[in-house]
Structures are given as C-alpha cells and as structure tokens.
A and B are shown apart, each in its own frame.
Chain A
C-alpha cells in the first residue's frame, strides 16, 4: 500500500514514482491494493450520495445515481465522447509541439551560458503567469477558434519543458562529461551522448507535469470561449442549470486525467526505464 500511496500522493514528484516497479509483488499485496481502491472510491460515492440526499439541495449537488445515468445517456448518444475527444485532440496537438519547442529551447539555455544568463530573468517573470491567466490573451489574439486553445496548451507545456530541460542539461555531472572527453568525445558528441541523456529524467518528469498543466489550461480556455470540449460542457451545464451534466463534466475530467497519467507512467516504465532506473537509489 505504501507504494501505491507514494505513486498517487507524490503525483508531481514523478522521478520517484516513475521507475519504481508497479506493485506486481505477491498476490495478497495486489489484492490489498484493489481492495483499498474500491474502499476509497466507494467511500467517496457514499459521502456524495448522502450529501446529495440529506444535506444539499438537488440543484446544487446531483446524486451519483443521476450523474451516472446522465453519463450513460451521453455515452450512448456519443455526446460525451465528442467533448472528451475534442479536448484531448487540442491537448495532444499543443502538448507535442510544446514539448518539442520546450526541449529545444531548454537544451540551448542549459548548454550555453550566455543564453542562460539572458533567459533566466525573463523565465523568472514568465513562470508565475499560469496558463489560465494566458487564456484572455489567447482569445484576443486568436479568437475562440482552435488556435487559441493550442496556444494556451503550447504555452503551458513550453514553459514547464524549458525550465526542466534547462535544469537537467545544466546539471549533467562534470565528472561524467570529463569521462567522455577522456574517451575522445568532442563537444558535439559530449552533448548528444552524455549531457542530453543525463537530462532525460528531468525532461520526462517535466513532460508528466506539463500534461497536468495542459489539462488545466484547456479547461480554462474552453470555459471562456468554445463550442465543444469538456470545459464547454461544464460551463454550458451551469448556464442551463443542468447539474447532472455539470457533474458528468467534472467526473470525465477526473477520469481522463487519471487514465492519461497512468498511461504516461506505463509508457515511461516500459520504454525509458534505462534512463530512469538510476534515480531509484538517489
């Protein structure tokens, strides 16, 4: 259980939870994990049910039963898939372009001292400006079309990736770089074969954090100006006083976010293990 707890609670400290073996130890441990998950989610549903039935007005809290039946309807008629799909597509496009740009800029900043010295003050000023705060500007520049959504996610992702990549590249151990120099590596080879691989744990951790940021950004952008997407679904439900649908929107955000994070961790564990595993002992 302790393993499971670390992996969820220290969500952003990806370095620790990535890499660690997922609990495939003994059967009782796995059973225990499933049991705990059932109890945990079950309690949430129970509290939710009681709240909606005995404490709050129906208009304020939709009951779990109503929420699930609304969700089922929306699944069957395809509406939920449409909104989730639209949001996901926006995130994917902005996220991948943002990762690419962020890693490239971050590598430059981390590697070249002059660039770092020039970029640092600017980054310090930009860092506190959250993706949510960028939404109005994106609307002003790009209107309510897709471009403004991409821009918000691109912004969210790029900032995180620049900072993490730069930190990783700048912190590549001098000893390791010197070892490569002794083996005959030139500057370019040192960067490609030593400095950059040394930064990969930082970069992957950044990618996971950036994915979370992207979701915050996309919902904010869709709340303000969109015709589809999870954010639109939530905002539209509020305007229609359709509390059940609003709850479906929130629930799908939670589910999609959690699933994506799981998938991300699975892919890391499977394909980037050799870069992450040495973090275990650190």
Chain B
C-alpha cells in the first residue's frame, strides 16, 4: 500500500515526534481569550505507547487534535524529526500518517457503508483497486476480529465492534501513528478490558506509535510505555512524565502495578483538588 503515502512525505525517516512549547488558545463568544493548554513540550519516540492522562476537561483531547492536524497550534511547533533539529518536518493539517480513533461510537463510522466498505474507504479514496487492497482488507478485518461481520452495517454492530471497525479502517492506511481519543470510554467494562488486551496485541504486531488519551489510571498503566499526567485546565501543562517499566502481561493486582497506580492517583488527586479550589 506504499502508493498511499504521497501526502505524508516524512513517513519513513522520523524517529521522534517533537512537540515544542505548544500553546492553544481560543477566543470565546464573549471575546474572552481561553487558553486550553500551554507550555507543552513532549518527545514521542517511534514505537512508544504514549498515554496522556488527566482530569476531564484538562485539554488532553485538544493536544491530540493538534497532533492530528484538525486544529492549528497558537504558538509552538509539532514536527516529525530524525533526532537532530535540522531534519524537522512540521505537520500540516490531517494526514494519512496520523490516524485518529475517536471515542464516539455513533458518528465516527460511515453508517451507509458496511464493515468492509468502511475499512476500504481510505484505499478507494486514493484510487487503489480492490485487487491491490483486498489482501490487506481481509488481514486487518481478521486482526480486529471482524472477518465474520464484514457485511454488517454499523447499526447492526455493538459499540465494541464499531471501535474495531475504526481501528481496522485506520490500520489499512498503514499510518505511522495511531491517535486514540478515549476510544473505549463509551464501552462496558468487560468489552473495554477485552479491547485493551487486543490493542496491546495489535500494537505489538504492527509496531505502530500510539498516542492514547485517557482519564483512567488503570487503563494508562495497562497500555502505556510512558504516561504523561496533565494538570487541570485551563492552561493545562504536563505535570509529570512517568516511564512504565512493568513486565507483561500487565496485572493490576501486581505489587509494582499497585504502587504505580497509587503514585498516579496521588498526582491526579492534587490536580482535582487544585481545580476545585479554583472554582470555589
């Protein structure tokens, strides 16, 4: 599927996504300036599973939207680089090298297309013939466990299955990064746990770089190689970055896991208290 990568010219050489001094501000309807995030500097390495963890409304999704290119930074820069500063390729707008998986289980698929057509949307858009993409289509449908549901429409699928369709639809474009915005937050606990395990498997199989937004500490620790804890908004920053070096498969009852959970809980609790204090 290499023919799909005309737009993302930076695709193969990069080793780091550098986010430098990023600030994002909005002007609201009363002409007030509202700063969602500020002073964000992060290096996401190729192959990372990078979790953005923070209280709700802290601007995690804002940062993810900036990386996706849906919105532009107010100040600062986001760029792919090979490691030295001269080689930077700034991102511009959305691209097939960065695929977003949305939380929304209702509006993110194309409801008039069945599973297979949803997954084939990208290749078809780029004029790739079925003969060329068919093997990938089948492989990715199988990878996400939907090979038996390929002719069902989204309304016939459960929330978990719809998120699987989203993942397959993104993977077939062979993106460099998967940007995941609380993708399992709308699902029931059992489905959520199942999909988390499958996501780890898919991440290992495909060697993708993942940026994953969540407000769930256990989820961040189950999945992430690094977890960035954000401060409460407005003007949210990255409070602390924690490398997660737990042995796999990760087990929430394991002593190291529990200790990390407590540590992150402590960090988040401070933020929740701070924001309550600000409101009162």
Residues of A within 8 A of B (CB): 173, 175-176, 178-185, 189, 193-194, 197, 200, 274-275, 277-278, 280-281
Residue in B94, B110, B154, B155 whose CB lies within 8 Å of A181:
B94
Chain A interface mostly: helix
The answer for the CA separation of A110 and B7 in the assembled complex, in Å, is: 29
Contacting residues, chain B, for A182 (C-beta < 8 A): 68, 94-96, 98-100, 170
| B57: Cβ under 8 A from any A Cβ | no
Contacting residues, chain B, for A178 (C-beta < 8 A): 68, 70, 94, 100, 102
| B104: Cβ under 8 A from any A Cβ | yes
Contacting residues, chain A, for B153 (C-beta < 8 A): 274, 277-278
A197 near B125 with CB under 8 A, answer no
User: Chain B residue with minimal CB distance to A275?
Assistant: B112
Min C-beta distance of B262 to chain A, whole Å: 35
Min C-beta distance of A269 to chain B, whole Å: 15
Cβ contacts B104-143/A at 8 Å (1 or 0 each): 1001111111000000011001100000000000000000
Residue in B100, B104, B112, B125 whose CB lies within 8 Å of A184:
B125
Contacting residues, chain A, for B168 (C-beta < 8 A): none
Contacting residues, chain A, for B187 (C-beta < 8 A): none
User: Chain A residue with minimal CB distance to B8?
Assistant: A184
A183 near B110 with CB under 8 A, answer no
The answer for the CA separation of A275 and B112 in the assembled complex, in Å, is: 5
The answer for the CA separation of A179 and B107 in the assembled complex, in Å, is: 9
B108 near A281 with CB under 8 A, answer no
A179 near B100 with CB under 8 A, answer yes
Residue in A189, A197, A280, A281 whose CB lies within 8 Å of B110:
A197
Contacting residues, chain A, for B95 (C-beta < 8 A): 182, 184
Cβ contacts B161-203/A at 8 Å (1 or 0 each): 0000010011001000000000000000000000000000000
Residue in B109, B125, B154 whose CB lies within 8 Å of A189:
B125
The answer for the CA separation of A183 and B4 in the assembled complex, in Å, is: 10
Max chain A Cβ within 10 angstroms of own Cβ: one of B7, B111, B122, B173: B111
Report the number of A-B residue pairs with Cβ-Cβ less than 8 Å. Answer: 72
The answer for the CA separation of A180 and B149 in the assembled complex, in Å, is: 22
Contacting residues, chain A, for B121 (C-beta < 8 A): 180, 183, 193
Contacting residues, chain A, for B109 (C-beta < 8 A): 176, 179
Contacting residues, chain B, for A173 (C-beta < 8 A): 104, 107
The answer for the CA separation of A181 and B96 in the assembled complex, in Å, is: 8
Contacting residues, chain B, for A278 (C-beta < 8 A): 111-112, 153-155
Min C-beta distance of A133 to chain B, whole Å: 37
The answer for the CA separation of A128 and B9 in the assembled complex, in Å, is: 54
Contacting residues, chain B, for A200 (C-beta < 8 A): 112
6 CB-based A-B contacts, threshold 8 Å: A179-B166, A179-B169, A182-B95, A183-B96, A184-B95, A184-B122
Min C-beta distance of A259 to chain B, whole Å: 28
Max chain B Cβ within 10 angstroms of own Cβ: one of A173, A175, A189, A281: A175
Cβ contacts B61-102/A at 8 Å (1 or 0 each): 000000010100000000000000000000001111011101
Min C-beta distance of B117 to chain A, whole Å: 9
A176 near B107 with CB under 8 A, answer yes
A183 near B173 with CB under 8 A, answer yes
Known contacts A182-B68, A278-B155, A280-B155; is-contact A175 B108 (Cβ 8 Å): yes
B155 near A175 with CB under 8 A, answer no
The answer for the CA separation of A274 and B121 in the assembled complex, in Å, is: 16
Min C-beta distance of A251 to chain B, whole Å: 40
Max chain A Cβ within 10 angstroms of own Cβ: one of B107, B109, B113: B107
The answer for the CA separation of A183 and B125 in the assembled complex, in Å, is: 8
A181 near B70 with CB under 8 A, answer yes
Min C-beta distance of B227 to chain A, whole Å: 24
A176 near B7 with CB under 8 A, answer no
A194 near B110 with CB under 8 A, answer yes
Contacting residues, chain B, for A175 (C-beta < 8 A): 102, 104, 107-108
Nearest 7 pairs of A and B residues by beta carbon? A278-B111, A173-B107, A183-B122, A181-B94, A184-B96, A175-B107, A274-B112
The answer for the CA separation of A275 and B155 in the assembled complex, in Å, is: 11
User: Chain A residue with minimal CB distance to B102?
Assistant: A175
Min C-beta distance of A27 to chain B, whole Å: 26
B99 near A176 with CB under 8 A, answer no
The answer for the CA separation of A200 and B109 in the assembled complex, in Å, is: 16
User: Chain A residue with minimal CB distance to B5?
Assistant: A184
The answer for the CA separation of A47 and B249 in the assembled complex, in Å, is: 77
User: Chain A residue with minimal CB distance to B156?
Assistant: A277
Contacting residues, chain B, for A183 (C-beta < 8 A): 96, 99, 121-122, 125, 169, 173
Min C-beta distance of A61 to chain B, whole Å: 49
A185 near B155 with CB under 8 A, answer no
Contacting residues, chain A, for B169 (C-beta < 8 A): 179, 183
Given contacts A182-B94, A184-B122, 20 further A-B contacts (CB under 8 A): A173-B104, A175-B104, A176-B110, A178-B70, A178-B102, A179-B100, A179-B108, A179-B109, A179-B110, A179-B169, A181-B94, A182-B96, A182-B170, A183-B99, A184-B7, A193-B121, A194-B110, A277-B155, A280-B155, A281-B155
